[in-house]
Amino acid sequence: MAIASRIILDDGFLLPFGLKLTLSFWSGATEEIVGLRTDDPNLILEMAESWFMTDHKKAKFVSVAIDSFSTVDGARTAAVIISARPKDFSSRILVFLPYTPKTENSPTVLRAPRVDFPAESVSLMPKRDFVLTNLLRGRESHPVSKPGVQ
């Protein structure tokens, strides 16, 4: 969420990307960001889902982020949709990061993220607040969320 937030604030839009977190005994944690690009915008969702569901070998966590529109509090809004899952495909979370796009008179404004779960992970619903708290903590502690960090 930190990377997607930073891109939206800096650029005003998000090109779809995948993120893998790999933990190794000797080197610690590493993140690998993969840009997902296609000439046909109608294929973005299919391409992102295919990348997301691929076995990423040693990755402990895998996530994918796309720029889209969502209905939040009954209103259609621009939003980054982030899907995340552990290596074993045992569960999945969805994070909706609504934002108000930049205009001539105002900057891009991120709104409060929302956490949801697809049907196969509905058993996680009671942990929604816990998941959101940890996502926000992770976003604030990630190096790209710090001012002046590129």
* Mean pLDDT computed over every residue of the chain: 85
Beta bridge partners of 78: 69, 99
Tokens of 57: 């070998």
Q: Report the predicted TM-score, pTM, of the whole model to 2 decimal places.
A: 0.82
Q: Does position 27 have pLDDT exceeding 70, yes or no?
A: no
Nearest to 94 by CA among 114, 123, 70, 71: 114
Nearest-CA neighbor of 14 among 100, 107, 79?
79
Residue percentage of the chain with pLDDT more than 70: 92
Coil, strand or helix at 133: helix
Q: What is the structure's pLDDT at 113?
A: 92
Asked whether 108 and 114 are in contact (CB, 8 A), the reply is: no
* Per-residue pLDDT tens over the stretch 111-140: 999 999 988 898 989 988 988 888 888 778
Cβ count within 10 A of residue 144: 14
Beta strands in the chain (DSSP E): 17-24, 28-35, 59-72, 75-86, 93-100, 109-110, 114-116
Closest to 82 measured CA to CA, from 70, 97, 60 = 97
Q: Which residues pair with 61 in a beta bridge?
A: 21, 86
Instruction: Write down the pLDDT at residue 36.
Output: 87
| Dist CA 115 CA 127 (whole Å) | 10
- pLDDT tens, position by position, 51-105: 999 988 888 889 999 999 988 888 899 999 999 999 888 899 999 999 999 889 9
Q: Residue type for 14, please?
A: L
